[in-house]
Amino acid sequence: MASLRDVAARADVSFQTVSKVLNGKGAVAPATRRRILDAAEELGYVPNALARSLQSRSSLTLGVITVDFASATPARFLVGIEREARQHGLSVLLSSLEPDGSDCVRYLRVLMERRVDGIIMNAPATEEDEEVGRVLRTGPPAVSLHDIAGGGVPRVSPESAGTAALPIRHLLALGHRRIAMVTGLRRQHSARRRTAVYRQVLAEHGVPYDPRLVEDGGWQVEGGYAATHRLLDRAGDLTAIYAQNDFMAVGVLNALHERGRRVPDDCSVVGCDDHPVAARTIPPLTTVRMPFFDTGAAAVRLLLDRVASGGAPPDDTVLPVSMVYRASTGPAGA
């Protein structure tokens, strides 16, 4: 692969002059310029970004560490991140983690070795990992979609309280009192926080908390399905179910169908995320719309601000969520 020197030799100038021409800096005579451009063209010269980065001390790369994005949610964050990064001329170096996040520190190190300009974390599994927090604080500027142990890393995320409060209030307003919830992996902060909000909103409306109405669905379709069967087995009087994401809600709908419970007449269902599929489940799903792409984009912008300013970590950013009302919810006891 041709280098500046090769082009220079062919155009009979010094390689620094070639650099000048190719970067449009410095004064160069039109004829020389032409000769250099031709030589570069003929040799198929492609600049070496590695060398450039080495010299300029900026790799124009963002590192992204994400939970396995085979599921919909992380993939959509990732899309938002990638799109925004691209718009700023940055490349994205992608690392996905084991489900338990055990290899996070290792990948952080790889990103640091590659001198990425910034790091975006989307790894709920590492929320309590002190080591991850420590490494993040010593490395390049970082932003996280989740909590980071020990702080110092600004967070950008959809309003987590709202994702539980909105649907529960909606169901309460419809007259429901026995409201079940299918959670994501309960050992994760985000699922636990939503559970706390669930309890609090119920309490505000004078509805007692019943732990038998909460089941772990592990974020997956099958988990939502199995959780619903368990819920119906031990709390058959429930009249509504909130699933913490739409995929689990698909499993919920299926299980209710199997049990002969009509939706929404016998049981209302609310999902979360507003995945395209939610619009066409049977019945179409009332759900919480999450600003996935915007969150990813906001994370990138925040990171770039940090890189540019070099200042202290800014405040957390919270993006609003909203309800989408469809046919899967109705008045209690209809």
**Which residues make up the interface to its own copies (CB under 8 A)?**
1, 44, 46-51, 53-54, 59, 61, 68-70, 72, 75-76, 78-79, 82-83, 86, 91-96, 109-110, 112-115, 138, 220-222, 224-225, 247, 250-251, 253-254, 257, 276-277, 279-282, 284
Q: Quick one: which of 34, 38, 41, 48 contacts DNA (CB under 7 A)? A: 48
Which of DNA, its own copies, none does residue 9 bind (CB under 5 to 8 Å by kind)?
A: none
Which of its own copies, DNA, none does residue 247 bind (CB under 5 to 8 Å by kind)?
A: its own copies
Site size toward DNA (CB under 7 A) is 31
Which of its own copies, DNA, none does residue 43 bind (CB under 5 to 8 Å by kind)?
A: none
Reduced to 3 states (helix: H, G, I; strand: E, B; else coil), residue 33 is: helix
Q: Does 32 bind DNA (CB under 7 A)?
A: yes
C-alpha span between 283 and 312 (Å, rounded): 48
Reduced to 3 states (helix: H, G, I; strand: E, B; else coil), residue 198 is: helix
Cβ nearer to DNA, comparing 21 with 321: 21
Q: Quick one: which of 38, 42, 54, 322 contacts DNA (CB under 7 A)? A: 54
Any idea which residue has 């994370």 for tokens? 299
283 prior amide bond cis, ω within 30:
yes
Q: How far is the CB of 212 from DNA (least distance, A)?
A: 57
Which of DNA, its own copies, none does residue 232 bind (CB under 5 to 8 Å by kind)?
A: none
Exposure letters 151-183 (e unless 16+ CB within 10 A, then b):
eebbbbbbbbebbbbbbbebbbebebbbbbbbb
Which of DNA, its own copies, none does residue 25 bind (CB under 5 to 8 Å by kind)?
A: DNA
- DSSP letter at 282? S
Contact 198, 167 (CB under 8 A): no
Both tokens of 83, joined, read 């799109």
Cβ nearer to DNA, comparing 19 with 317: 19
Interacting residues of 23 by C-beta distance below 8 A, sequence separation 6+: none
For 140-194, give the DSSP string: S-EEESS--TTS-S-BEEE-HHHHHHHHHHHHHHTT--SEEEEES-TTSHHHHHH
Instruction: Annotate each residue in 11-30 with x if it binds DNA (CB under 7 A) or - if it does not, as one string.
Output: -xxxxxx-x--xx-xxxxx-
Cβ nearer to its own copies, comparing 11 with 278: 278
Q: Which residues bind DNA (CB under 7 A)?
A: 1, 3-5, 12-17, 19, 22-23, 25-29, 31-33, 45-48, 51-52, 54-57
